[in-house]
Amino acid sequence: MLNMFLKSIQMPSNMHRIKCLPFLLLSLIFLNSCDNANHSSAQTDYSKQYPATEGGTLINAMTGEPSGLIAMTAGESAASAIAGNIFNSLLKYDKNLDLAGELAESWDISDDKKTITFHLKPNLKWADNQPLTSEDVLFTWKLVTDDNTRTPYGADYKLVIRAETPDANTFKITYAAPYAPALETWASLHILPKHLLKDQDINTTAFARNPVGSHYYKLEKWKNGQYLSLVRNPNSTQGQAYIEKLTSRIIPDKAAQFLELSADNIDIMGLDSIQYSRVLPARPELNKNIALYKELGNSYVYLGFNLKRQPFNDVRVRQAINYAINKQEIIEGVLLGLGEPVASPYKPGTRWSNPALSPYPYNPDKAKALLKEAGFSDTNGDGILDKDGKPLSFEILTNQNKEREMTAVLMQRRLKDIGIDVKIRILEWASFLGRFIEPREFDAVVLGWSLGLDPDQYNIWHSSQQGPKQFNFVGYNNPKVDALLEAGRLELDPDKRMKIYHEFSKILLEDSPIVYLSAGYGLNAIHKRVQGISNPAPPAGIGHNTHEWYIPSQYARNELSEY
Amino acid sequence: MLKYIIKRFLWMIPMLIGISLISFFIMQLAPGDITTTEANFNPKASEESRQKLRAMYNLDKPIIVQYGLWLKRMATLDFGNSFASHQRPVFWQSKDKDGNVTLGMIQEALPITLLINVLSLALIIMIALPLGVISALKQNQFADRAITVFVFIGFAIPGFWLSLMLMYWTGVQHQWLPISGLQSMGSEHLSWFSQTIDFIRHLILPVFISAITGLAGISLFTRNGMLEVLHQDYITTARSKGLSENRVVYGHALRNALLPLITLLGLSIPGLIGGSVIAESIFAINGMGKLFYDAVLMRDFPVIMGILTIGAFLTLIGNLLADVAYAWADPRVRRGVMQ
Amino acid sequence: MKKIFSNPLTIAGFVIIASIMLLALFAPFIAPYDPDAIDVKAILLGPSSQHFMGTDGLGRDVFSRMLYGARISLLVGFVAVGIATLIGIILGAIAGFYRGWVDTVIMRLVDVMLSIPSFFLILAVIAFLTPSIWNIMIVIGLTSWMGVTRLVRAEFLSLRNREFVLAAQTLGAKDFRLIFTHLLPNSLTPIIVSSILGIGSAVLLESGLSFLGLGVQPPQASWGNILTDGKIYIQFAWWLSLFPGLAILITVLGYNLLGDGLRDAYNPRSSQH
Query: For residue range A33-76, what is the model confidence (pLDDT) as tens digits?
Result: 444 444 444 567 888 889 999 999 999 999 888 888 998 887 66
Query: For residue range B257-298, what is the model confidence (pLDDT) as tens digits?
Result: 777 788 788 778 888 888 889 999 999 998 999 999 988 887
The beta-carbon neighbor of A560 closest among B164, B187, B193 is B187
From B318, which residue of chain C is nearest by alpha-carbon distance? C115
Whether the CB-CB separation of A213 and A127 falls below 8 Å is answered with: yes
Tell me the H-state helices in B139-285: 142-156, 159-166, 192-230, 233-240, 245-246, 254-267, 269-282
C residues 82-141 lying closer than 8 A (beta carbon) to B: 108-109, 111-121, 123-125, 127-130
For the segment B133-141, the average pLDDT, to the nearest whole number, is 88
Residues of C in contact with A327 (CB under 8 A): none
Residue A411 has pLDDT above 70, yes or no: yes
Q: Do A333 and C231 touch (CB under 8 A)?
A: no
For residue C116, tell me if it sits in a domain: yes
Q: Of A168 and A29, which is predicted with more confidence?
A: A168
Q: How much helix, strand and coil, in percent to the nearest 5, is found in chain C? A: 75, 0, 25
Residue B211 has pLDDT above 70, yes or no: yes
Q: Given this model, what pLDDT does residue B53 score?
A: 65
The beta-carbon neighbor of A409 closest among C38, C231, C232 is C38
Domain housing C121: 4-30+53-272
The CA-based angle B287-B291-B295, given to 5 degrees, is 175
Residue C270 has pLDDT above 70, yes or no: no
Query: What residues contact A223, with CB distance under 8 A and at least 6 apart?
Result: none
CA distance B276 to chain A (A): 14
Split into its structural domains, chain C has a count of 1
Other CB atoms within a 10 A radius of the CB of residue A495 amount to 9
For the segment A328-335, the average pLDDT, to the nearest whole number, is 90
Residue A32 has pLDDT above 60, yes or no: no
To the nearest whole percent, how much of chain B has pLDDT over 70?
86
Query: For residue range A269-300, what is the model confidence (pLDDT) as tens digits?
Result: 999 888 898 888 888 888 889 999 998 888 89
Question: A332 and chain C: CB distance < 8 Å anywhere?
Answer: yes
Q: Which of A474, A404, A383, A491 is nearest to A436 (CA)?
A: A474
State the DSSP H helix or E strand holding residue A295, giving kind and residue range, or none if neither: strand A290-295
B residues 49-78 lying closer than 8 A (beta carbon) to A: 49-50, 52-53, 56
Residues of C in contact with B270 (CB under 8 A): 114-118
Whether the CB-CB separation of A357 and A509 falls below 8 Å is answered with: yes
To the nearest whole percent, how much of chain A has pLDDT over 70?
92
Rounded CA gap, A471 and A477, in Å? Answer: 13
Q: Given this model, what pLDDT does residue A235 score?
A: 94
Residue A263 sits at φ, ψ, to 5 deg, of -90, 10
To the nearest whole percent, how much of chain C has pLDDT over 70?
96
For the segment B307-336, the average pLDDT, to the nearest whole number, is 77
Residues of B in contact with A204 (CB under 8 A): 81, 86-87, 96
For residue C38, tell me if it sits in a domain: no
Residues of C in contact with B145 (CB under 8 A): 7-9
Which residues in A127-223 belong to E strands, given as ranges? Answer: 160-167, 170-175, 217-223
Residue C174 has pLDDT above 70, yes or no: yes
Residue B45 has pLDDT above 60, yes or no: no
Query: For residue range A492-502, what is the model confidence (pLDDT) as tens digits?
Result: 888 999 999 99
Q: Write the Ramachandran bin of A420: left for phi over 0, alpha for psi from -120 to 50, otherwise beta.
A: beta
Give the pLDDT band (50/70/90) at residue B256.
confident
For residue C35, tell me if it sits in a domain: no
Judge if ipTM > 0.90.
no
Q: Do B33 and A259 touch (CB under 8 A)?
A: no
Residue B338 has pLDDT above 80, yes or no: no
Q: Given this model, what pLDDT does residue A25 score?
A: 54
Q: Of B74 and A352, which is predicted with more confidence?
A: A352
The CA-based angle A451-A457-A459, given to 5 degrees, is 120
Domain boundaries, given as residue ranges, for chain A: 4-36+45-83+215-267+529-548, 91-197, 299-520
Question: B256 and chain A: CB distance < 8 Å anywhere?
Answer: no
Q: Which of A276-290, A365-379, B117-131, B240-254 has the lowest mean pLDDT?
A: B240-254
Q: Do A33 and B284 touch (CB under 8 A)?
A: no
Give the pLDDT band (50/70/90) at residue A6.
very low
Give the pLDDT band (50/70/90) at residue C249.
very high
CA distance C232 to chain B (A): 9
Name the 3-class secondary structure at A250: strand
From C59, which residue of chain A is nearest by alpha-carbon distance? A333
The domain defined by A299-520 folds into Dipeptide-binding Protein; domain 3 (3.10.105)
In this complex, how many residue pairs, one in chain B and one in chain C, have their CB atoms less than 8 Å apart?
151
Q: Do B284 and A151 touch (CB under 8 A)?
A: no
For the segment B316-326, the average pLDDT, to the nearest whole number, is 82
Q: What is this structure's pTM?
A: 0.85
Average pLDDT in chain C: 87
Q: Given this model, what pLDDT does residue A481 score?
A: 95
Q: Which of A522-531, B200-209, B324-333, C167-176 has the lowest mean pLDDT?
A: B324-333
Q: Given this model, what pLDDT does residue B126 score?
A: 92
Q: Given this model, what pLDDT does residue B200 score?
A: 92
- Buried b or exposed e, range A323-351, using 16+ CB within 10 angstroms: bbbbbebbbbbbbbebbbbbbbbbbbeee
Q: How much helix, strand and coil, in percent to the nearest 5, is found in chain B? A: 75, 0, 25
For residue C93, tell me if it sits in a domain: yes
Q: Do C58 and A409 touch (CB under 8 A)?
A: yes
Query: For residue range B77-99, what is the model confidence (pLDDT) as tens digits?
Result: 777 777 776 667 888 877 766 67
Q: Do B100 and A226 touch (CB under 8 A)?
A: no
Question: C132 and chain A: CB distance < 8 Å anywhere?
Answer: yes
For the segment A473-502, the average pLDDT, to the nearest whole number, is 93
Q: Given this model, what pLDDT does residue C64 score?
A: 94
Average pLDDT in chain A: 87
Question: A433 and chain C: CB distance < 8 Å anywhere?
Answer: no
CA distance A541 to chain B (A): 21
Q: Do A68 and B96 touch (CB under 8 A)?
A: no
Q: Of B64 and C273, which is predicted with more confidence?
A: B64
Other CB atoms within a 10 A radius of the CB of residue C18 amount to 12
Give the pLDDT band (50/70/90) at residue B335.
low
- Buried b or exposed e, range C191-219, using 16+ CB within 10 angstroms: bebbbbbbbbbbbbbbbbbbbbbbbbbbb
Rounded CA gap, A459 and A184, in Å? Answer: 15
Question: Looking at domain A91-197, which of 3.90.76.10, 3.40.50.300, 3.40.50.10480, 3.40.50.720 is its CATH number?
Answer: 3.90.76.10
Residues of A in contact with C43 (CB under 8 A): 274, 333, 336
For the segment A396-412, the average pLDDT, to the nearest whole number, is 88
For the segment C171-195, the average pLDDT, to the nearest whole number, is 83
From C232, which residue of chain B is nearest by alpha-carbon distance? B164
Residue B337 has pLDDT above 60, yes or no: no
**What are chain B's partners, defined as 3 or more CB pairs within 8 angstroms?**
A, C
The beta-carbon neighbor of B156 closest among C108, C129, C200 is C200
For residue C48, tell me if it sits in a domain: no
The beta-carbon neighbor of B304 closest among C112, C124, C208 is C124
Residues of B in contact with C256 (CB under 8 A): 152, 155-156, 216
Question: Looking at domain A4-36+45-83+215-267+529-548, which of 2.130.10, 2.60.40, 3.30.70, 3.40.190 is its CATH number?
Answer: 3.40.190
Question: B174 and chain A: CB distance < 8 Å anywhere?
Answer: yes
Q: Given this model, what pLDDT does residue A466 score?
A: 87
Give the β-pairing of A245-250 and A268-270: unpaired
Residue B56 has pLDDT above 80, yes or no: no
Q: Given this model, what pLDDT does residue B334 score?
A: 55
Residue A104 has pLDDT above 90, yes or no: yes
Q: Which of B316, B339, B284, B326 is nearest to B1 (CA)?
A: B339
Give the pLDDT band (50/70/90) at residue B252.
confident
Question: C218 and chain A: CB distance < 8 Å anywhere?
Answer: yes
Residues of C in contact with A402 (CB under 8 A): 57, 229
Which one of A28, A469, A470, A557 would you mutate to disrupt binding with B, by most B Cβ within 10 Å of its Cβ?
Answer: A469
Whether A91-197 shares its CATH topology with A299-520 is answered no
